[in-house]
A and B are shown apart, each in its own frame.
Chain A
């Protein structure tokens, strides 16, 4: 397989200390969603809609808010924010096993 070199992302020039708000302030609220903690993940939950019984245990136990619901049904995982802790897979009932953790190191 031919190895293609990935283009190096152009480092965005970030502002210096003279132009940013003091004390680490962010001059807006609700900014946590913009911080993609999914980057920290080394394992990834794979959710299987065929097996899922919509018991919501994963949704209750997720320490983030990364189990996505739509119209009262589980529809998947928010990979932008899921840190891959594996709690959802651990609480998924043994007879269901709708969530499986797989390596995610790319």
Chain B
């Protein structure tokens, strides 16, 4: 927490669950339209938000739809009509949105959606892992992951500006870990309603369906002669997002005193071994890093914030000189070659002249608890990798019974 935030009279520290913090951010963003369907552990977000609507605290048009497919479809329609539109979901709800996720991105609609990470069925499970949003990593949405309720709150507010930036015009999903963050209570620093209102501003769409003076056609047939050009535009927007995400983070830092980067490098500068991780497990792992540092072990950690677009060049710069790196995936691609973060990170490091020894840990599936001891064993494996210069086992399943 920087001084500028403490000097700011509007800063309030409030005890909130992750869902409450995200619902509060949505109230302050004050979208024109929210269309949503309940699913554990996201339900509270839209439930609390619908209370704000019923109490007249926001003038948002709230559309209680009959499925997530409809939730995303209604959000797409509203966004194409020029509205600032939001929804929220988890797991199988996200899976049911699938085809419309690609439509939102392809139509270049700046929709913002909190996603509370939860395991996909079957077997049915309501607890945290990242298999839901990792599956959506190629849908054309920008993805920001959060370690705690504060980051979920801050990321959601920044997401509006990133999505609506004229050089981006892409939907953004903001993740937090189901139950661990969504239902865990922590102190969260809130901005004032006025500060958020000013920061997000008004959406200024270039074209809208409701502009009868200037009619447009949205979603026409786009065949061999133009579809590729539109996909190329989408790719360019993802390249542009890299710059915009940092600009928005810097502006947000001036307002809040909280500076965000593409990833957090924790005690990484002189590290001889590091864990790369996403989400709430970073907090547990930092505790172990501190423990090891106290013993003189040069341990470090890299916590991903932005997964799409994938900040490959920056990650290469941050990790190439570290001799041993363990990548922790809270999702298994079931590809028999490791998790999604592992695959992308290894690809990013391929062009480095010096590359770390790397291995992969699939962990915490279906909400399986990740303890300090689990993280300690990962650093022990890294120490062994350093000592022997060999990766004993590339793909490891951490915390599963044999």
Cβ contact of A17, chosen from B109, B222, B236, cutoff 8 A = B236
Cβ A24 vs Cβ B216 within 8 A: no
Q: Are B216 and A23 in contact (CB under 8 A)?
A: no
User: Which of B217, B225, B237 has a CB less than 8 Å from the CB of A14?
Assistant: B225
Q: Shortest Cβ distance from B72 into chain A, in angstroms?
A: 16
A43 to B284, CA, bound (A): 69
Whether B217 pairs with A25 at a CB distance below 8 angstroms is: yes
> How big is the B interface, by class?
20 to 34
Contact B107 A29 (CB under 8 A): no
CB within 8 Å of A: which B188-247 residues: 207, 214-222, 225-227, 229-230, 232-233, 236-237
Q: Name B232's closest neighbour in chain A (CB-CB).
A: A17
Q: Is the CB of A28 within 8 A of B217?
A: yes
Tell which of A16, A26, A29 touches B229, judged by Cβ atoms closer than 8 Å: A16
For window 1-51 of A, CB contacts with B under 8 Å fall at: 14-17, 20-32, 35
Whether A29 pairs with B215 at a CB distance below 8 angstroms is: yes
Q: Is B93 located at the chain interface by the 8 A CB criterion?
A: no
Q: How far, in angstroms, from A21 to B222 measured CA to CA in the complex? A: 13
CB-CB < 8 A to B218: which residues of A?
23-25
> In whole angstroms, how far apart are the Cα atoms of A20 and B219 in the complex?
14
A24 touches B207 (CB 8 A): no
Q: Which chain A residue lies CB-closest to B236? A: A17
- A residues in contact with B215, CB < 8 Å: 28-30
Tell me if B106 counts as interface (CB < 8 A to partner A): yes
- B219 and A24: CB pair below 8 A? yes
Q: Bound state CA distance, A20 and B231, in angstroms?
A: 12
> Which residues on B sit within 8 Å (CB–CB) of A23?
106-109, 169, 218, 230, 233
Residues of A within 8 A of B108 (CB): 22-23
Q: Which residues of chain B are near A22, meaning CB under 8 Å?
A: 108, 169, 230, 233, 237
The CA of A3 and the CA of B171, in the complex, are separated in Å by 56
Return chain B residues, CB-CB under 8 Å to A31: 217, 220
Say whether A26 contacts B107, CB under 8 Å: no
Query: How many angstroms between the C-alpha atoms of A26 and B218 in the bound complex?
Result: 7
User: Is there an interface contact between B233 and A17, defined as CB atoms closer than 8 Å?
Assistant: yes
Contact A25 B216 (CB under 8 A): yes
- Complex Cα gap A71–B225 (Å): 39
- Tell me, in angstroms, the Cα distance from A85 to B169 when the chains sit together: 40
Partner of B217, one of A15, A16, A29: A29
Residues of the A chain whose Cβ atoms lie less than 8 Å from the Cβ of B227? 24
User: Can you name 22 A-B residue pairings with CB atoms under 8 Å?
Assistant: A14-B226, A15-B229, A17-B233, A20-B230, A22-B237, A23-B106, A23-B109, A23-B169, A24-B107, A24-B219, A24-B227, A24-B230, A25-B207, A25-B217, A25-B218, A26-B216, A28-B216, A29-B216, A29-B217, A31-B217, A31-B220, A32-B220
Chain A interface residues toward B at CB < 8 A = 14-17, 20-32, 35
Leading 3 A-B pairs by shortest Cβ distance: A29-B215, A23-B108, A26-B217
